[in-house]
Amino acid sequence: MTMRATSLLSPVLTLVSAPAFAHVGAGPVEGFGHGLLHPLMGIDHILAMVAVGLWAGLVGGRARIVYPLAFMAMMVLAGAWAMAGGELPGAEAGIAASVVILGLAIALKASPPLAAGALACGIFAIFHGFAHGAELPENASGLGYAVGFVIATAALHGAGLLLASRLASYAPAVARIAGGGLALAGVVMLAGG
């Protein structure tokens, strides 16, 4: 190539090139991907988030929407707090305890007033949201990351709601057994952590 062609081509290539990120997890797309995967990479998060949907579905009525929304709203706030450098001692124990308590609520067919159930879900979400926010990859978009973990959480809540509709129709006793299994899994997590 001639010097003149190179000098004309350089500005064009500069304008159409995408930025290069030197670190995994850098940028908004990677932040979103990491956020989307984070809740799906830990059995504790999966169990608790499916349990919120399952419990909400078994309680029925407005709880089907209010419990998951309360969880997601508080999770976002706690995630932002962690991303801002906040601290929450005992977050992992809180996550395991949420699995125990949600499992017991399902096993015992607990149907508290709507506000009490939503408050419980919101309290559990503090621990999960903090854990998500604390894992924000370096140089990743906090907003993209948060959008990712909210979408994954909503999907897990949806799976729990779907499971509740199936169990309520075909095998209501299985829901109670599943709740007992969740509680037991949470106890194992507490003992191991």
Residue 109 placed within a domain:
yes
Task: Inform me whether the pLDDT recorded for 23 exceeds 70.
Answer: no
Locate 99 and state its tokens: 């699995």
Task: Inform me whether the pLDDT recorded for 147 exceeds 70.
Answer: yes
**Residue-range definition of the domain harbouring residue 181:** 26-192
Residue 9 placed within a domain:
no
The secondary structure of 69-127 as a DSSP string is HHHHHHHHHHHHHHHTT---TTHHHHHHHHHHHHHHHHHTT----HHHHHHHHHHHHHH
- Choice between 107 and 36, residue whose per-residue pLDDT is larger: 107
- Mean pLDDT of the residues in the chain: 86
Residue 14 placed within a domain:
no
Residue 50 placed within a domain:
yes
Domain count, the chain: 1
- The predicted model gives 145-171 an average pLDDT of 92
Packing angle of the helix pair 91-107, 43-59 (nearest 10 deg): 30
User: What percent of the chain is predicted at pLDDT more than 90?
Assistant: 67
Residue 16 placed within a domain:
no
| CA–CA gap between residue 60 and residue 75 (Å, rounded) | 22
Task: Inform me whether the pLDDT recorded for 11 exceeds 70.
Answer: no
Residue 152 placed within a domain:
yes
Residue 2 placed within a domain:
no
Nearest partner of 48 among 179, 193, 167, judged by Cα: 179
| CA–CA gap between residue 71 and residue 158 (Å, rounded) | 13
Task: Inform me whether the pLDDT recorded for 30 exceeds 80.
Answer: no
Task: Inform me whether the pLDDT recorded for 12 exceeds 70.
Answer: no
- Residue carrying the six token digits 């932002």: 80
Query: Tens of pLDDT along 71-122?
Result: 999 999 999 999 999 999 999 999 999 999 999 999 999 999 999 999 999 9
Q: What is the pLDDT of residue 159?
A: 96
Reported confidence tier of residue 29, pLDDT bands at 50, 70, 90: low
- Residue carrying the six token digits 């604390």: 134
- The predicted model gives 50-76 an average pLDDT of 97
Residue 139 placed within a domain:
yes
